[in-house]
């Protein structure tokens, strides 16, 4: 290969640069205006607090001017020294700049979310294919409509400072800025929930949160109070089973499903209604971390998931999800194939109600400011648009109250919808006035109806003017009571359905997760009570967990009917696109620069991201080094390729971890010492040896399966 064909340092976008232009070595002295955002960043649309398009560039809401000022726009000559009575004297109370600066800092924080505090988000677009037009009149789901969105992912239990890769349910919430108003699809990466009635929500969260005396453990469910609750409230067993599966530790937000959890009601243009469930399906497939990877990531890179999302968008590997619906008849009993659609602890298997793809979401821009966007975005399942309505799901009904109440508390008052990230992209004329943080300047003198002083404005909208109409759903004659339908009492059949639908390796991971979590519990009675629940779900699972705990496996106490398995619930066994996957190329001064350049170009051409790893930083034959042997970690690579014969102990440890985690591994014939140093058999499944071109091609062919699953069929070392 001619030298001038070698890959140059700037031909592949390597994410992570903190500023749009490289900084100078010396402190800058020539005034410049604020730098623009990074190319991968975007902010909220520039609409007014009442939804009017301003036509202003996004920079109008950023800092202005090259000179430091007070919050009132007064220029300052010094922000390093307080105003004192002489150089050694006391600080003066009249120092207005000091008081403003410190006071604002003291009030920078707002209360973090009680749940879903740890989050990451991105801007994007949703494109409807029109397939939903037959079941809903919602405009954003009509043929060819494109809608701006903002999506936030999160963990549930941990604080804002907790690790990304803990075993937990993940939030998956999307704000659609439709021309009919804001619609929020507020869901999780697990389609069922722990409880059936919202009145228990404080209980399950109190149980899952750290113990109140020590505030530990943080961001995990492996403790007594959680398992005490779920073993006593056996309605939680289905969600717990999902949480103990590999879905509890996603590989990436980009590789995670999302669900609306509840059943919603849709109405079409003719007034016909259907019951629906929402599904987000990632184009890259649904994948997970191994347990060891999750532990390594929590220590080496606690920001693993948010970094993965931001880096993928910055490097142009825009993540995509198909939005799909399960559509079921709106019957009087609100059941389908014997499944109560108002029970949020139940799913409808895809084999009974196939998914119908109605559009695709692409996330294509990172936030410009985390606080202003990711932290202040306010979701609410009651933010509905015409054509979508709620059902009498008792968990959903409670959420309709709780989310609004939470936003008022967190964001300082009732005007949170006027924050730029929450502003509707539709006209707002709500007659709501005043309150804390009011940024609209309302005109008129008559914020009431009816009125004549404002000419009668605002007027009601007719049904033909995209007005939201509460569906006149018949309520059966009954009495007021604290009760639930009898069908809600089945707490085990769907947990059994889920577990038995998994592949053997996934079932093994479930058993290992239960064993780890219950072993962390102190009280023997709690372990035994949860084993009893497992016995009612699956005898083999119970026996495996009991053996790991050194306890006898109890006999089942409930007769649970078998149901056909749902293959769609398994994550293993298919292949997926490799966009944004990360391949580590290990090289040194002895590596042929041409071979390294060709390997790097081949990985990039396949849609993956090549990262060059060497003993130290700098350049190798004109190619930049992104990681050193000291900073590289196995968790950040989906596959590794050795192009060097150097047997660095740190590299050997990394390759050993990659092998244990089932990742594709390649080594040139001259680099087999790396494999032997890591005790990796050259003929093991998913290990490739050959020329650089052969090795890279073979590794790229292995990546679509996510892992080399055959490696788990042999005893783990």
Mapping DSSP to helix (H, G, I), strand (E, B) and coil, where does residue 509 land?
helix
Give residue 414's pLDDT: 93
DSSP class of residue 641 equals E
Tokens read off for 680:
């990796």
Which has the closest alpha carbon to 420: 602, 209, 213, 148? 148
Alpha-carbon gap, residue 273 to 330, rounded angstroms: 6
C-alpha distances in Å from residue 205, one per residue of 198, 201, 208, 229:
11, 6, 5, 10
Confidence of residue 60 (pLDDT cuts 50, 70, 90): confident
Mean pLDDT for 563-574 is 93
Mean pLDDT for 311-340 is 97
pLDDT above 80 for 196: yes
Give residue 575's pLDDT: 96
DSSP H helices in 341-471 = 394-410
Residue 678 neighbours by CB under 8 Å, 6+ apart: 651, 652, 653, 655, 656, 659
Assess whether 509 carries a catalytic annotation.
Answer: no
pLDDT above 90 for 250: yes
Q: Which of 116, 223, 239, 279 is catalytic?
A: 116
The secondary structure of the chain in percent helix, strand, coil, rounded to multiples of 5, reads 30, 15, 50
User: What is the reported pTM?
Assistant: 0.95
Confidence of residue 214 (pLDDT cuts 50, 70, 90): very high
Express as a percent the part of the chain with pLDDT over 90.
Answer: 87
Give residue 10's pLDDT: 58
Mean pLDDT for 308-324 is 97
Give residue 563's pLDDT: 82
Give residue 3's pLDDT: 39
Residue 561 neighbours by CB under 8 Å, 6+ apart: 493
Burial of 515 from C-beta contacts in 10 A (0-12 / 13-18 / 19+): middle
Mean pLDDT for 17-41 is 90
Give residue 68's pLDDT: 87
Give residue 714's pLDDT: 43
pLDDT above 50 for 4: no
C-alpha distances in Å from residue 396, one per residue of 147, 525, 708:
25, 33, 41
C-alpha distances in Å from residue 320, one per residue of 326, 329, 459, 482, 555:
20, 29, 40, 43, 45
Half-sphere exposure of 235 (CA within 13 A, CB side): 20
Mean pLDDT for 663-674 is 93
At which residue do the structure tokens 């948010």 appear?
306
pLDDT above 90 for 263: yes
Around Cβ 577, how many Cβ atoms within 10 Å?
A: 17
Residue 475 neighbours by CB under 8 Å, 6+ apart: none
* Peptide bond just before 458 cis, omega within 30 deg: yes
User: Which range (78-92, 472-486, 575-589) has the least confidence?
Assistant: 472-486
Assess whether 116 carries a catalytic annotation.
Answer: yes
DSSP H helices in 336-451 = 394-410
pLDDT above 90 for 59: no
Indicate the Cα dihedral angle 501, 504, 507, 513, nearest 10°: -160
At which residue do the structure tokens 């149980």 appear?
207
Q: What is the pLDDT of residues 426-442, one digit of tens each?
A: 999 999 999 999 999 99
pLDDT above 70 for 270: yes
Give residue 462's pLDDT: 85
Mean pLDDT for 397-421 is 93
Confidence of residue 713 (pLDDT cuts 50, 70, 90): low
Confidence of residue 61 (pLDDT cuts 50, 70, 90): confident
pLDDT above 60 for 699: yes
**Contact between 182 and 175 (Cβ < 8 Å):** yes
Query: Mean pLDDT, the chain, as a whole number?
Result: 94
Q: Which phi and psi (to 5°) does residue 148 adopt?
A: -70, 145
pLDDT above 90 for 123: yes
pLDDT above 90 for 712: no
Confidence of residue 405 (pLDDT cuts 50, 70, 90): very high
Q: How far is the first Cα of the chain from the last one, in angstroms, to the nearest whole number?
A: 41
Give residue 546's pLDDT: 98
Q: Which of 123, 129, 188, 509 is catalytic?
A: 188
Tokens read off for 367:
């936030």
């Amino acid at each position: 290969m001619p030298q001038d064909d070698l890959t140059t340092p700037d031909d592949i976008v390597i994410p992570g640069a903190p500023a749009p232009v490289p900084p100078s070595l010396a402190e800058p002295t020539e005034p410049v205006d604020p730098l623009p955002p990074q190319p991968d960043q975007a902010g909220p649309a520039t609409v007014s607090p009442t939804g009017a398009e301003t036509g202003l560039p996004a920079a109008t809401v950023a800092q202005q001017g090259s000179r430091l000022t007070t919050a009132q726009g007064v220029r300052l000559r010094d922000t390093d020294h307080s105003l004192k009575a002489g150089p050694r004297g006391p600080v003066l109370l009249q120092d207005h700049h000091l008081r403003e600066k410190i006071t604002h800092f003291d009030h920078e924080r707002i209360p973090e979310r009680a749940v879903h505090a740890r989050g990451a988000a991105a801007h994007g677009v949703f494109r409807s294919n029109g397939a939903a037009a037959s079941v809903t009149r919602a405009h954003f789901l009509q043929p060819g409509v494109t809608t701006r969105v903002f999506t936030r992912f999160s963990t549930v239990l941990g604080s804002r400072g907790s690790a990304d890769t803990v075993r937990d349910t993940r939030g998956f919430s999307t704000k659609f800025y439709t021309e009919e108003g804001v619609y929020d699809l507020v869901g999780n990466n697990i389609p069922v929930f722990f409880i059936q009635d919202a009145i228990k929500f404080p209980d399950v969260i109190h149980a899952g949160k750290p113990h109140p005396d020590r505030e530990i453990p943080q961001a995990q469910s492996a403790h007594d109070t959680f398992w005490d609750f779920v073993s006593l409230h056996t309605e939680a067993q289905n969600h717990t089973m999902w949480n103990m599966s590999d879905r509890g530790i996603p590989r990436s937000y980009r590789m995670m499903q999302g669900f609306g959890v509840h059943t919603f009601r849709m109405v079409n243009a003719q007034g016909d209604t259907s019951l629906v469930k929402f599904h987000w399906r990632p184009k890259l497939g649904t994948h997970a971390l191994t347990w060891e990877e999750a532990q390594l990531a929590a220590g080496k890179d606690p920001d693993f998931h948010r970094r993965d999302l931001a880096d993928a968008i910055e490097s142009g590997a825009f993540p995509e999800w198909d939005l799909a619906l399960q559509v079921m008849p709106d019957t009087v009993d609100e059941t389908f194939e014997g499944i109560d659609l108002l029970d949020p602890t139940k799913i409808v298997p895809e084999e009974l109600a196939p998914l119908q793809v109605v559009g695709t979401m692409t996330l294509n821009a990172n936030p410009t400011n985390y606080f202003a966007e990711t932290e202040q975005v306010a979701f609410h399942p009651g933010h509905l648009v015409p054509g979508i309505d709620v059902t009498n799901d008792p968990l959903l009904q409670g959420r309709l109250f709780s989310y609004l109440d939470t936003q008022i508390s967190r964001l300082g008052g009732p005007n949170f919808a006027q924050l730029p990230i929450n502003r509707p992209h539709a006209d707002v004329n709500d007659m709501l006035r005043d309150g804390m943080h009011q940024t609209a300047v309302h005109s008129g003198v008559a914020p009431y109806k009816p009125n004549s002083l404002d000419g009668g404005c605002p007027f009601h909208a007719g049904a033909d003017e995209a007005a939201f109409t509460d569906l006149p759903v018949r309520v059966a004659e009954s009495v007021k009571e604290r009760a639930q339908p009898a069908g809600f009492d089945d707490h085990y059949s769907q947990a059994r359905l889920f577990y038995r639908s998994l592949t053997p390796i996934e079932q093994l991971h479930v058993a290992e997760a239960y064993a780890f979590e219950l072993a962390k519990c102190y009280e023997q009675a709690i372990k035994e009570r949860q084993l009893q629940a497992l016995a009612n779900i699956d005898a083999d699972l119970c026996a495996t967990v009991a053996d790991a705990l050194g306890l006898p496996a109890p006999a089942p106490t409930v007769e649970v009917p078998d149901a056909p398995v749902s293959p769609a619930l398994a994550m293993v066994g298919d292949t997926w696109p490799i966009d944004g996957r990360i391949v580590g190329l290990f090289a040194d001064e002895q590596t042929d620069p041409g071979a390294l350049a060709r390997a790097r170009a081949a990985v990039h051409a396949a849609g993956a991201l090549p990262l060059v790893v060497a003993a130290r930083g700098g350049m190798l034959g004109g190619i930049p080094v992104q990681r050193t042997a000291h900073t590289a970690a196995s968790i950040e690579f989906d596959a590794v390729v050795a192009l060097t014969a150097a047997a660095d102990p740190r590299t050997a440890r990394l390759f050993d971890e990659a092998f244990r985690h089932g990742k594709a591994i390649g080594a040139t014939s001259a680099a087999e010492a790396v494999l032997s140093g890591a005790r990796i058999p050259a003929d093991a499944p998913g290990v490739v040896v050959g020329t650089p071109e052969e090795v890279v091609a073979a590794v790229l062919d292995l990546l679509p399966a996510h892992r080399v699953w055959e490696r788990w069929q042999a005893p783990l070392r």
